[in-house]
Amino acid sequence: MAGKKLTCLKCAQLNRVPFDKLTDNPKCGSCGAALMPSKAVEITPAVFAKASASDDVPLVVDFWAPWCGPCKMMGPEFEKAAGKLSGQARLVKLNTQTHQSVSGKMRIKGIPTMIAFQNGREVKRQAGAMKVGQIVGWVPSN
């Protein structure tokens, strides 16, 4: 059975996980980090570049900044959504203040902005804060 490609959110190593094991808390073969975490993970531009280009499972990126009021309001909702979507999608955060080049490259015009990637391409984009139910309903299914 062919596996789903997942980039480790910690070390950026590409892993293959059988589809039926995505909900079994798979670990990275290199560093042992959880590949399908139940919490939102802060990632680096390098991990973002590799995961958004390679992963078969939906990768939902919250582009945010610590000074942004709506981002602060959405943070806990995004975290809850990560738990509800564990095994189906990976929710990650990228700080646009720290990594301004990525937000420019991705044409982020306002924050928070969520972008979903799957199979190497952007599949959805949404600007503005959302509640947990809206986030869960917005995320593409695997």
Residues 58, 89: Cα–Cα separation, whole Å: 5
Please, are residues 7 and 55 in contact by the beta-carbon 8 Å criterion?
A: yes
Query: Can 68 be counted among the known catalytic residues?
Result: yes
Give the chain's largest Cα–Cα span: 46
Q: Choosing from 11, 28, 31, 68, which is the catalytic residue?
A: 68
Query: Can 11 be counted among the known catalytic residues?
Result: no
The DSSP letter of residue 141 is P
The first and second tokens of residue 37, run together, are: 């975490």
Q: Choosing from 8, 11, 28, 71, which is the catalytic residue?
A: 71
Work out the angle at residue 69's Cα, subtended by the Cα atoms of residues 65 and 74, and round it to the nearest 5 degrees.
80
Alpha helices in 5-99 (DSSP H): 45-54, 69-84
Q: Which residues are catalytic?
A: 68, 71
